[in-house]
Amino acid sequence: MGPDAVYELMNKNPAFALATVDQGAPRVRGMLLYSAGAEGIIFHSGAFKDLHKQLLADPRVELYFFDPKTFVEVRVNATVEIVDDNAFKTEIANHPSRAFVKKWMESGNLEEFFKMFMVYRLKNPKACAWTMETNFAPKVWFDL
């Protein structure tokens, strides 16, 4: 499985588990991918969330995706960078899959929204993929 197949799996299965580090302890939560492809792997959250504080303190993350139709599992290791681009934040908020973000954007002060709506892109992501058939084989990591 190569990068294009991984991006396709991610975009078809946008719910993923995100692991961060918080004072040396792992923290995992469910997230919703915005997009994965040549522009990077993009997700978002709020600056008021524990997630954002954890990423500021330690930007290392691991993402886990699963395709229930093919039983392919994918892990992605990377560090995150903050994408501070109000035009991109507006694009995300206006995407049909992000009605909950658009409602937030339209509910108050736009400047405050741009300050609190955090967009993240993975830097130097490496992935590995496997199925139950390949579960005991050594993992092969590759660049995305």
Query: Whole-prediction pTM value?
Result: 0.94
**pLDDT of the residue at 38:** 86
CB 44 within 8 A of CB 117: yes
Of 71-75, 111-115, 122-126, 129-133, the poorest mean pLDDT is in: 129-133
CA nearest neighbour of 125 among 16, 1, 12, 7 = 7
CA separation for the pair 48, 118 (Å, rounded): 10
Over residues 40-51, the pLDDT tens digits come to 999 999 999 999
Contact status, residue 72 vs residue 9, Cβ threshold 8 Å: yes
Alpha-carbon distance of 85 to 111, in angstroms, equals 12
For the chain, give the percent of residues with pLDDT over 90.
93
Structure tokens at 6: 């991984």
Angstrom distance (rounded) from CA 60 to CA 70: 28
User: Residue 96: phi, psi to the nearest 5?
Assistant: -55, -30
> Which structural domain, as residue segments, surrounds residue 59?
3-143
Could you report the per-residue pLDDT of 1-50, keeping only the tens digit for each? 899 999 999 999 999 999 999 999 999 999 999 999 988 999 999 999 99
Domain total of the chain:
1
Q: What is the CATH number of the domain that holds 90?
A: 2.30.110.10
What pLDDT, on a 0 to 100 scale, did the predictor assign at position 122? 98
Average pLDDT, rounded, for the chain: 96
